[in-house]
Amino acid sequence: MTSLADEARLVLDTFADRTTGLFHPTVRLGVTGLSRAGKTVFITALVHNLLHGGRLPLFGAQAGGRILRSYLEEQPDDAVPRFQYEDHIRTILEDRAWPQSTRAISELRLTIDYESASGWGRMFSGGRLSIDIVDYPGEWLLDLPLLDKDFATFSTEAIARARLPSRRHLAEDYLALLDTVDLTAPADEPTALALHASFAKYLTACRADRTALSTLPPGRFLMPGDLEGSPALTFAPLPVEPGHAYPKGSLAALLARRYEAYKTVVVKPFFREHFARLDRQILLVDVMQAINAGPEAVRDLETALADILACFRPGRSSWLGSFLTRRIDRILVAATKADHLHRDSHRRLEAIVRRILDDAIARAKFSGARTDVLALAAIRATREASVEDRGDRLPVIVGTPAAGETIGDETFDGKTETAIFPGDLPADPARLFVESDGGTTDPIRFVRFKPPKLERDAAGMTLSLPHIRLDRALEFLLGDRLA
């Protein structure tokens, strides 16, 4: 993925970071996930619970009373936008609405003063750890494999995906346009723009709720930001022949050059300046959306996760080697929105993610890094209950569906609390990958709930945001650094 010059820069950056870390210990925590996975909500809940002493019984440092205080500090990277925690928590608590999704990279530094778990450590001085939380779209990770692919390879793979039965109807305008272009004709901007717009429209349609497909590079086509309209983003796959030299100034030559510019201007800087500097990583996955979309979406999610995991630089470095090379030594994959299911289904949700990741991890040739899988709700928007149905007790979840959400013929008003039976996940995850005789598996009754009202304890104190297994996630990602 990188040249010798890139690796040399990474070594220098790592050495500088590690040297600084001798005096100010820091861990860089990457938070990513594909669209709708809940990255912004996870970071907001993590920060809120640590700042306000949240209910985190399985987070050892907090449960043991060893965290003296947690506070926000100025982030170290001046060129990276700050994660707007204050705006997001206000939206959740005051408006009871979910904040806007991640559209670009952002960063936030949270510092924890703590006491060591060992008496020997407490004899000297209190500990201090800064957590630099780096929030970035998972779609950008799907661009990293492009660094090893030329334009012909990228085009062949992208066009083959577009012609799959599950995608062809979404890509029909783009595929029809391909049939009209002459690759050797002189390049003109209107044709390049038309091809790009048609291909980007197809990628956007693939990401919609009803299809929920995940393997959609180039990622910046879905989130262009300030590069929208630039030549580096104005290209599309073409049916070019591998190894064939197209005339200079031709359409094929122009788009191939812009593809290479995309890798240089967009992908490499992200890898070098952000991704390669991470120490720990949490990957958030919205599995239920893929399950409801059907087996093709589940298989596509498996492919996307394999591509994402292949991008990580996993493993443990030696003490000396850690000054020269940075490796992610812990990776947590979290299936989000666990509060949309009764707890009886949480183990099945984790089993499904493990089944998806088994092949992905094998394909990515993981070694050296600790990995774990967790069913998680960073903010719990529902509570559990049961109702009687024909003499049987049926487990349900209770919450306030957002205005406009529907189940069958019922449309919710955003004010009424409702009990919903979400359905059961299959005991055998393999069922999700194949069409059954009667079609796909029964869908989960999946609606978006409003954030909860904060509860008060018996003394009238306002409690922190409720969650499901956020404490387990924190213990896995940070527990050893606060020992």
Residue corresponding to tokens 């720990």 = 280
3-state secondary structure of 192: helix
Quote the pLDDT of residue 324.
41
Contacts of 473 (CB under 8 A, 6+ apart): 282, 332, 334, 374, 376
* 85-93 and 39-51 helices, crossing angle to 10°: 90
Pairwise pLDDT comparison (31 vs 322), residue with the higher score: 31
- Let me know: does 376 contact 338? Beta carbons within 8 Å: yes
- Let me know: does 131 contact 109? Beta carbons within 8 Å: yes
pLDDT, mean of residues 286-292 = 88
Pairwise pLDDT comparison (156 vs 446), residue with the higher score: 156
Strand partners, 215: none
Quote the pLDDT of residue 293.
84
pLDDT band at residue 8, thresholds of 50, 70 and 90? Answer: low
Q: Out of 5-9, 50-54, 64-68, 295-299, which region has the weakest mean confidence (pLDDT)?
A: 5-9
Pairwise pLDDT comparison (42 vs 358), residue with the higher score: 42
pLDDT band at residue 228, thresholds of 50, 70 and 90? Answer: confident
pLDDT in tens, 428-475: 998 888 876 554 456 677 788 999 988 766 665 667 899 999 999 999
pLDDT, mean of residues 354-358 = 88
Domain ranges of the chain: 4-136+274-380+469-482, 149-261
CA 267 centroid distance within chain:
17
Per-residue DSSP letters for 419-468?
EE------SSGGGGGS-BTTBSPPPP---PBPPPPPPB-TTSPBP----B
Both tokens of 83, joined, read 């994660």
pLDDT band at residue 187, thresholds of 50, 70 and 90? Answer: very high
Quote the pLDDT of residue 443.
63
Quote the pLDDT of residue 319.
38
pLDDT band at residue 480, thresholds of 50, 70 and 90? Answer: very high
Specify the CATH number of the domain 4-136+274-380+469-482.
Answer: 3.40.50.300
pLDDT band at residue 47, thresholds of 50, 70 and 90? Answer: very high
Sheet containing strand 418-420, edge to edge, reads 383-389, 392-399, 418-420
C-alpha span between 133 and 137 (Å, rounded): 13
3-state secondary structure of 203: helix
pLDDT band at residue 194, thresholds of 50, 70 and 90? Answer: very high
pLDDT, mean of residues 82-99 = 94
Q: Is the pLDDT of residue 312 over 90?
A: no
pLDDT band at residue 274, thresholds of 50, 70 and 90? Answer: confident
3-state secondary structure of 304: helix
Quote the pLDDT of residue 413.
93
Contacts of 227 (CB under 8 A, 6+ apart): 220, 233, 265, 266
pLDDT in tens, 363-392: 655 666 788 999 999 999 999 998 887 778
Q: Is the pLDDT of residue 144 over 60?
A: yes
- Percent of the chain, pLDDT > 70? 86
Q: How far is CA 432 from CA 3, 54, 117, in A?
A: 40, 36, 44
